[in-house]
Structure 1
Amino acid sequence: MALTPITKRLVPDDVFDQLLGEVVDGSLSAGDTLPSERRLSELLGVSRPAVREALQRMSATRLVEVRHGGATTVRDFQRYAGLDLLPRMLVRDGELDPTVARSIIEARFAIAPGVARMAAERIGRADEHTRRALEEALGTLAAAGDPVARQHAALAFWDAIVDIADSIVFRMMFNNLRLAYEPALEALAPLLDGEVSNLDGYREIRDAVVDGLGLAAQGAATDLLRPATEAMVDFLDALQDEPDEDEPAEDGPGKDEGEAR
């Protein structure tokens, strides 16, 4: 386990982040036993209460199983963790994780059209305040003067769509996806600006929802999201494939030929 000392001003969040990184990266596998609180505090250079709080957070996010008077065991995070972990996983050590970002973009494309359809089918339940929020978000989007402002306006538009859909599960999913996305919003905004600049696409969704046309709302959302989704996935795949600067370059043909001689 490659743990490094932490300055006290950053505890206990950094303790949690470092343990999380070990679990997500696979340095700690499901079934592994963590060192004792005392040993972890020695390895990290922090107090035992800070370690204890971090372990409690790990337990709350279902990353470990803490047994009173016994060992703390790592769980398989892909089977036990919830969407609340996404914000922590997307940006770690100040860097975007392309794999997690790709999953969020793909989830958005898979879920949003269905939410738009549900909103259209349930528009009759929406109160005047919720309907007005949709119009206000569209107006804000039209007036936004830069990519970041347009991103925030687009999030407000989808927030209103989720409210109209009136599903507590979709609401919680949206909340967590938004929390995961917002830390990387400024970095990703230029790549998604073509989408949030497509006012006609948003108006088509709005019109279909207001008119109660479920299939039309679903199709309009799919048409709006598809181009940026495909572009983002290509970008993130390329980012993931970039060689690590710390890794030595692969041997060229000259070296192989020399060794052959």
Structure 2
Amino acid sequence: MALQPVVKRSVSADVFEQIAAEVLSGERAPGSALPSERQLAEALGVSRPAVREALQRLAAAGLVAVRQGDTTTVLDYRRGAGLEILPRLLIRQGTLDPTVARSILEARLHNGPKVAELAAARAGDREALRHELNRCLDALARETEPVALQRHALAFWDHLVDAADSIVFRLMNNMLRAAYEPALEALAPLMTAEVGNVAGYRAIAEAVLAADPPAATAAARALLEPATTALIAALDAAAATSNTASATSNTAAGATPNTAGATPNTEEPS
């Protein structure tokens, strides 16, 4: 097994990660009660303050509802959580989730042309933008390493998001990028055609710098759509294979108990 970098985390962070993984995987269903703070501390071998801090983080992430003196209830993250959980959904136990990756690619295809359109309409200092985009284009033209190529492409889009002058697109881009970056190596073989299409990026840059929103929209879609369609087809095939394997495994092995399998209980205030 290849050695992995050691991640230094607090005890409460480890508790958070364990419970979050169970909530996001569906092991702990929406509406179910977590074990009490005391029971979690005993089951995990940690202090109650560490558990309490982890539960507060889980509540802030929209994964659980904590009520003083009452049970802590698992929430439906699909309705209550934000984009900050995307990285955890995309990479689970070191494996890319093809369904989540598909959703990110769909969002990218939808957002990219609009970002290019807004950048063309709203960019302020176009000479400064020209300088930054040209730097990215030069890097894309020189680079041969697949992951590095993707990083240069991300930098190109980052400048367009800034030029679009939309706080919503900026925050969305931040979280989508945070989710996407851990998967760069896994996606590299599938992204080669897109990130190697320097002419496609150049067409977007020229349209944006010419203040031509329709042309920028069309150029962005022309760049993103072919690779996105191919990627989604590959991910759908991977998801189908994974679902078949999972169904076979579940039939053979049965259900797996939760990590912190203590009995739910009403927590008394401490």
- TM-score scaled to structure 1, two decimals? 0.86
- Match for residue 227 of structure 1? 226
2-structure distance, mates of 1:48, 1:137: 50
- Match for residue 105 of structure 1? 105
- Match for residue 153 of structure 1? 152
Moved more, 12-21 or 30-39: 12-21
* Other structure's SS at 2:248 match: coil
1-structure distance, mates of 2:135, 2:38: 54
- Match for residue 217 of structure 1? 216
- Match for residue 22 of structure 1? 22
- Match for residue 164 of structure 1? 163
How far the C-alpha of 1:245 sits from its partner, in A, is: 6.9
2-structure distance, mates of 1:241, 1:17: 27
Moved more, 188-197 or 34-43: 34-43
- Match for residue 188 of structure 1? 187
1-structure distance, mates of 2:111, 2:165: 14
Number of equivalent positions = 243
Q: Greater relative contact order (Cα 8 A, min sep 6): structure 1 or 2?
A: 2
2:197 is equivalent to residue 202 of structure 1: no
Distance 1:246 1:45, change over 3 A: farther
Taking only the aligned residue pairs, the percentage that are identical comes to: 55
2:135 is equivalent to residue 136 of structure 1: yes
2:39 is equivalent to residue 48 of structure 1: no
Distance 1:39 1:248, change over 3 A: closer
Moved more, 128-137 or 103-112: 128-137
* Other structure's SS at 2:103 match: helix
- Match for residue 245 of structure 2? 244
C-alpha root-mean-square deviation of aligned residues, in Å? 2.2
- Match for residue 77 of structure 1? 77
- Match for residue 177 of structure 2? 178
4+ residue stretches of structure 1 with deviation over 4 A? none
Runs of 5+ unmatched residues, structure 1? 1-7, 251-261
Deviations 1:200-242 (A, max 9, x none): 1001100100001101111111110111111111111111111
Runs of 5+ unmatched residues, structure 2? 1-7, 252-270
